[in-house]
Each structure stands twice: as structure tokens, then as C-alpha cells.
Structure 1
């Protein structure tokens, strides 16, 4: 008999609704799978006690359907708060912090009937596309022992790829959904910015870079979770209203795509990355175009706005001498850069961002999607902090090797990461604003051809 966790999430949930599978049987299978796999990969952290989880599963079996995720075990990325479960964000400065309330996105998942079993591992504060931290240690790539899982949603991607969970949430500022999806052979969607609301804390207007989103083993499962996560929040002025995607995804779709590759040589690529990606696109409607905007301008705007945002988030921990020394060097570097910025620096970066959005909008009058690799290198040794060099080119920051994800992140566009089977690499298809459904429909076409 097929193991329950080898099924798609939509199939698992349908089996629960029909009575062919109980929440208790699913929870037992989940805990058995975690016990078997997690000691090797270290993707699931802060796992709750089995007795408590089985009791919640029994309660789910006794009650009416609560929502579309009723009875599904779910592990939340350890950047988001779950009431009653420790949130560390991978930092010793926050280790043991137990929130009283769940974040908006998490509460929506709980309200949909999911049973939160614990957390998935992440780099400290999600900084860096390599999942390791001083609280829980490092997460192994799902398929390459001794290699990086990517990040910052590395724990989520590996938990999915190793069938410990059927759905996972991720977040994406600088490829944190896309890079680990590509390296571990799963799907991830960075939604249009504002579709999945963040927390109504502090400034709710200026820092439009990071977003939560879904990860899964199929595009239909992405749509399922995206619909649960999505929807406006009245406390946030820039949150968006969107139509559900799951009811429409089965249509499938072909897209007119523009291949941007290494952005005209601007992005250093490990040998084999470009060839792997172009071979995977064979048979699709793809035009090879030149770089539509200066890469250095994009990078300059990105690191300015990113450091400015990080400084606002982590500034209190940096200012407090009791926690500053617990921050990793990359976090301190970001905060210090952000605090040193002037209003002129920020305005200049925002103008570049605005100009790039204008150019991208014109591209979408011709093409449905812009295509790039999900990373500039294949999974590297887990012992590295980050790649210091790619193809003979020095990486001058801890995140320069992920520059390829900036075009979407800078202007809040949706981007779908699709896997290239057996290659430890993926493609990111960037769509126009609010084209989330269109990308998911293409993802279904991609998935059906694998």
C-alpha cells in the first residue's frame, strides 16, 4: 500500500474527507517518517510531543471539517510565530522565546484545520541562502548528503522533498523560497507582494521586499496553500485581494517566455548551470533576450533597500549590548550598512526600483514570463558559510552568489520555482504583477511533462 505521505497534499486531504484515511493514521505515519529521516537531514526542529499531536489528530477525526487543511500535519518555518511553540529564528538571542499568539499567515493555516507539529529550520533571521544556525545546526540537502539545502526555507524544502510533510510555508526576500526549491527538487511560489500579508508591526508602507508563500511537491498543492495564506488584512494598507487559484489551476497553460540566463554575463554562473537550464526548456516557447536593465543598478538598489529593511528589523538587537554579540557577522554587517544610509541613498535606490518596474512592465507586453536559474551554483559543501567564488569571480558579499533572484524581489513580482529533475537546480519563472494563477497554471503544464 502506498505510504500516505507519498501522496500529494490534495489527495491526502481528499482521503481524510472521504474517510479513507484518518488524521491519526496520517499523524502516526508523519511521526514515524520524521523519526526515520530527520536525524540525518535536520529539517524539522522544535517537534512537539507525540502524545499531544496524536490527541489533536483524534480530535480532528471526531469533529466536522474545519477547513481545507483539516487534519494535515504542518511544520512552520522558524521565522514565523506559532502560539505556544518556541520561536528562535535561528538566533541564540531569541532561543526559547514562546509567543502567545500566532502570526497572521500561521493562524490562517491553523484556522484551515492543519495541526502544527513543530518548525522547519532556517538560517539566523533568514539571512543567507544556506540553512545553518547556532541553535539547531545545519540542514542537509535532501538528495546530496554533505551539501547545502539552500535557504532560508531550506528546512521546509527538505522536509517536503523527504516526505516528512506534504505542504510547507516558506518566505522569500532574496530567493529564500526559490533557491531551496531548486536545490531539493520541489516547487515554491514567491507570490505578488502583498497577496500574503505580513505582520502589522512597525512600518507597514516602506519595506516591500520579503513575503511569505507556499512550497509543495506539485503546483496544485502550491495553489491549495496559497489560497489559505492569501487575502487582505485590514490593518495593512498594501495587502491585496486575490481570487482563489486552486479552482482554476487545472486548466494548465503555456507561456511565451523570455530567457535571461546570466543577464548578459553580469551574473557569475558555475559551469553547467546555464546548460542544465536551457536543456530543461527545450520544447517550450522561449526567446533568448539580452539584459533589459543594468545589473549593477539593480544590485545597488537591492543592497541599499535590503540593508535599510534589515536594520529596522534587527536594530534593537544590535543596539542592545547583551544581544549584539550573539548576532552572526552577516547580520551585523547588514544592520551597520542600514544604519549608515542617508535619505538620499534610499530615495536613489527607490528610483532605480521604480525605473526597473517600468521596464519590466513593458517586457510583459511581449512576454508572459521572464526565466532565470534559481541559483548561480549547484549545492555547495555544507561546511561553507557561503561561496566565496563562482567561475573564478570573487563574491564580494555573503549573498552576491544569489544575485540572480534580485530582478523579481526588488519590485515584488510573483516568481514560480520549478524543479529540473535529477539536476539539483531549478528555473524561476517571473510573472507580471498579480499573475500568480498564470504561473501556477504553467507550473501544472511543467509538472505534467516530468
Structure 2
């Protein structure tokens, strides 16, 4: 079973392990990369990948498995898919004007089956779990990972256990997780505390962990990079801007673009900008000091999806930034929710966490880091319906410590033509 065209390689010490060995860390405790040997089989051309867009074959209809030779060449019978991916790339002129750039694209990963980017990674992690004969999966989650895991476990016929920080997951995300059938365990503590606990629990109980620590999650999320380049007709943008939480996306998308470059499919790489909230900015501080990451014990931000003080993929994420001459920036919750209001008003809509990217672009343009003529792509990681409570709070101007600069407050009117006219004219 381990005669596969990839190895698991430690990002710290370089130790190599068999490709399907059931582990998430090196013996030195470093995280693992999936290193492919692309010489072992014939790779499809870009024209073949483009032709698959018109295919009716189920795996070709997936925005992950359409690129399977570059993601993970698994036997078809093991693949667990909900035809994830195939998300829209929006040209957003009104959002571009807000940020100060001339051309801004929004890759909306909230249009995946369960409403977030996680579905791409979950498809691959669950497929590998199926190939290895797993029957149980688990995750620590602030909501998006648990919802995705629950859905894909249901499709695969596996039991799923979601460990969530009590009081720190939105009702919408919790509802998804429950509806798809996962057993939810609410734990007092931060995401980081629970992540450590669940990692130990999975090891002791021989349960498959499907957080971003699982290297096959990263391989699935690489497909964001592949599909983005296909959307752009394989023309590289100047900047790629992402939210910074557990840093799986920064790790994955950089890995995909670097592999494309190494294979001669791209002529250059975009610069990466990773954006973190001020109250959960451990990578930002590490970037500024050129030092190791110092965990934040109790991160404080309204952005629950990235309320993470000790991201497990921080070394991979920082590697992406340094390798592309990129930056890490921080933004306030105020800047993020104002940016979200702009994205929502453009008719696109996104989870607040996703809109750190827009706030970050604006800040980087104002600071002269991104130039107005440069071509910028932002990754929107989640759907607007992931947190309807914060949308209502913003527009009702009831959000703690946030001034609703772009509020669209509902108007109460009597049941008369005159009252309705006054309301519509106001």
C-alpha cells in the first residue's frame, strides 16, 4: 500500500516517511509535507485540465479531483467527493475602489458544498482515510472544519467527532455540524487548547485527525491555487491575499503554485499577503521580529474562525510569505467589519473572517506596499450565511466596540401607503 508516488517529509528536519504511514508529525514533532515524485507518471497538460471542465465524469466535475495527478493520485474507488470547488472568481470593481487598487478579484471559497474552503481539503483527507480503512474521524474546530468533516464523514459512512470551544462557534456552523450527524463535544477552553487535546486523543484512540495538521488536508486545499490559475487562464497575479488563522490555506496555495512553477507551468509566483486580526496576530509578530512564533494564550477578536493564537501550520505559512517576498499584516475588527459591509453590498457577501483580506489590501495600499496598478486576488474563505448573527448586529449597530459606518438599518413603517412612501424616500 505504501508504494505510492509521494513521501511524507518533515518541514523541520527533513526526515522522510512512507506516503501512507498514519502520522501527522515527525518524531521531532515537526509538521509534515507531502512530497510528490511527479516523474513516476505522465502528467496532463494544461489543455487537458481545461478540457476536463466540460467532462461529465464525477471526479472531473470536482474542483479538486480535476487536478488529481497534481493533488493526490488515488484509486477512484476511494475518492470521497461532493463535487467541491468550482467556485466563482469575481471581478469586484466597487470593492477594488474601496481598497484603492484598479483590479481586484475575489475567489469565493464560501461557494463550496458546506460553505467554506475546508471542503477541498476534507475531500482528500477523507479519501485517504477511506483508503487506509478508517471508520472514525475527529477534529477541533471553530465551526467550518466541523461542518465539513461532518458532511464528508456522512458521505463516506464514517463516525465523526467534533470538539468545539464552548461559546465560540456560531449557531449556523454548529447547526451544520449537528445536522450532518457528527457527535459534538463542547469543551471549555480556546481552540488551541482543544487542538492539542484532540491531537492526543486521536493518537491514543486510533482515530483519524482531519484538521490542517493532517498533511492531506493541505493537498486538497492546494486545489484552490490550481483552480485560481485556471480561472485566470494561467496568468499569475501580482498579489495573493489570504486570511491568517491556522495557516493551512497559505501553506497549501503556496505549495501548489511552487509545484506549478517547478514543473514549468508558471513563469513566476505572486507575492503573498497573510492578514491576521490584531487580537490573534502571532504570525504577524513573528514576521516583524524574524523570530519563532510566540503563541497567544487567549486570542481576542470577534472573528471566531481565526481566533487562533498558536497556528499549527505557522512554519509552512511563513515559508510561503518569505519565499514570495510577501508580507504579513494585521487589521482591526473595525476595519474587517467595514470591509465586510463593502463586500456584502457588492452582492457577493462573505463570512467576516474572509474580509480581513479586503481590509488588508486597503491597509497595504494606503501604506504603499501594494501599488494601485497591481493585479490583486483575495481568497474569501467562507459564506455570508456562516454567521448571520454578526450581519444583523452590524446593521442594527449593536456589535460591541464596532461602529457601523456602512449600516443598512431596517426601517419600521406603519401599514399605510403614506408610511411606506416615507420609508422608501428616506
Q: Please, what TM-score do these two structures have when normalized by structure 1?
A: 0.25
